[in-house]
Amino acid sequence: MGHPRPFEFRTVSPPGTQDRTVTVGMQTLPTRRASPTTRRVFRERAKERWPTVLLTLVSIIQALALETLWAELAEEGELAAGGFDGIMAALQGTAVLLSIVVVWIFFAQLVMRFVWVPGLRDTMAPFAIGLIEFVLAEFISAGQYGLWIALLSLAFLVAHVSLLSAFSRAAQEPENADYFARMPEAPWRRHGPSIGAMAVMLLLAGVVELAANELVTGIAYGLVLLVLLAQIWIQRIYWYRAIS
């Protein structure tokens, strides 16, 4: 005869009753839509926590972009090249630095102005902009100066699409009713700064590629820096209009 098996104590739920060891989340199928009350709770939770999540994510990505810029300029010795290459490295490095500042202020003032329930596009925008910044920092003084400016304008396009997505979602929230009631209706006033900056940069990119001249390239990059400084000034206006 073998050894007797030890007794096993199990709690058996009566027929027709729910097993309390199984949570509601385990019972809910992924394809089953949550109740209106649950969706309302999730929406309020997303609106409350999204600013912190977004700014934390943007801070990390911009810090990595700044580190990439520093490594390219200091460790690779781009600034020590001298001559035209050294000047262009300084101009491009300054442009990347200003773009990092613009991106940070853009997202910071965005969450200061209104609240909204984020979508997938909102979560992907910081990664897309950060990737462009990494490429810009990595290809400093690599030639193709016109294409470099065109790539910088692409970052403005991604930011503008993100802005439009945030606007459409924020317009649905009652907390932002006063803000959108005072928003100018003229399309050029709402989209002019971003589209204007993209148009100017694309024009400068075309001029640089067609001219293929060092003086023209240097002047074009000086104008790019002015566009970035103008964007910082515009974000400053939005910031103080929202909180003062």
* Element spanning 85, H or E: helix 83-113
What are the pLDDT digits (tens) for 65-82?
Answer: 999 999 888 876 667 667
Find, among 132, 185, 139, 138, the residue nearest to 157 by Cα.
132
Find, among 117, 235, 241, the residue nearest to 167 by Cα.
117
Q: Please indicate, yes or no, if residue 181 is contained in any of the structural domains.
A: yes
Q: Please indicate, yes or no, if residue 19 is contained in any of the structural domains.
A: no
- Predicted local confidence at residue 189, as pLDDT: 65
Q: Please indicate, yes or no, if residue 126 is contained in any of the structural domains.
A: yes
- Cβ proximity of 238 and 109 under 8 Å: yes
Q: Please indicate, yes or no, if residue 83 is contained in any of the structural domains.
A: yes
- Predicted local confidence at residue 83, as pLDDT: 84
Q: Please indicate, yes or no, if residue 5 is contained in any of the structural domains.
A: no
Domains of the chain: total: 1
Q: Please indicate, yes or no, if residue 24 is contained in any of the structural domains.
A: no
Q: Please indicate, yes or no, if residue 25 is contained in any of the structural domains.
A: no
Domain of 130, in residue numbers: 36-243
Q: Give pLDDT < 50 ranges for the chain.
A: 1-2, 4-29
